[in-house]
Amino acid sequence: MIKLQNVSKSFGNKTVVNDLTLEIPEGKIFGFLGPNGAGKSTTIKMISGIEKPDSGEIFINNIDILKSPLLAKTQIAYVPDEPVFYSHMTGIQYLNFISDIFGISVEERKKNIEEYADAFNFLNELKEFTNNYSHGMKQKLSLISAFIHNPKVIILDEPMVGLDAKAAKTVKQLLKDFTQKGNTVFFSTHVMDTAERFCECLAIISQGNLIFTGTFDNLKNIMGENNSTLEDLFLELTEAEKK
């Protein structure tokens, strides 16, 4: 579960996230949508503990991330849109490093690394140094590292970028399996078709303000356009917000 209560964040004179209140239940794949500059990445960084809000509260599984940041972060795996690794490490060294941070036993990490690397057909690539990886390879390594320590919440910022069709399908299945165990996925994307087909609940943010939260069917009913795609409704809603 993720809960944001009256969260705001500004940089200089610009308010990037304005009084955001949002609750993401357990066992759901939650899509977080918005135009460029809407405040999506800043919100994700605040949930992940990378940025601190100017005001408001953030809870991960009822743990206040501001009061107990280390404990809250044990619940989270974060997959950024631009993964960054230590260039002098191989893929397997990086995964062992992550396993050490989260106190994963040798037996469990071996099992989990093999399971998720095999799912992405990435076992051989783990022997290579990460500075030789393409963007897609870095994305796969980041996703594997997210799963191996068995988090309760996975936060993803544009995770499909750079992945081929097979890897993207693998991610979707792994995330569905993950939520079926009662875990939570918070998923930011610009690809409306992916959000429409994949996310069970949605939130749309524009200019730092939450302008919709609910299911795709809820949105169609509100807009009175039952035959429209999510892309059509998203553009109509966000363009109206600018006026």
pLDDT tens for each residue of 19-64 = 999 999 899 999 999 998 899 999 999 999 999 999 999 999 999 9
pLDDT at position 9: 97
Q: What is the CATH number of the domain that holds 142?
A: 3.40.50.300
Average pLDDT in the 1-5 region? 95
> In the predicted model, is pLDDT for residue 225 greater than 90?
no
pLDDT tens for each residue of 103-157 = 999 999 999 999 999 999 999 999 999 999 999 999 999 999 999 999 999 999 9
pLDDT tens for each residue of 146-189 = 999 999 999 999 888 888 999 999 999 999 999 999 999 998 98
pLDDT at position 51: 94
CA distances for 71 relative to 14, 62, 199, angstroms: 31, 11, 28
**Domain of 49, in residue numbers:** 2-242
Q: How many CB atoms lie within 10 A of CB 192?
A: 17
**Those residues with Cβ within 8 angstroms of residue 214's Cβ, 6 or more apart along the chain or in another chain:** 201, 202, 222
pLDDT at position 86: 87
> In the predicted model, is pLDDT for residue 238 greater than 90?
no
Domains of the chain: total:
1
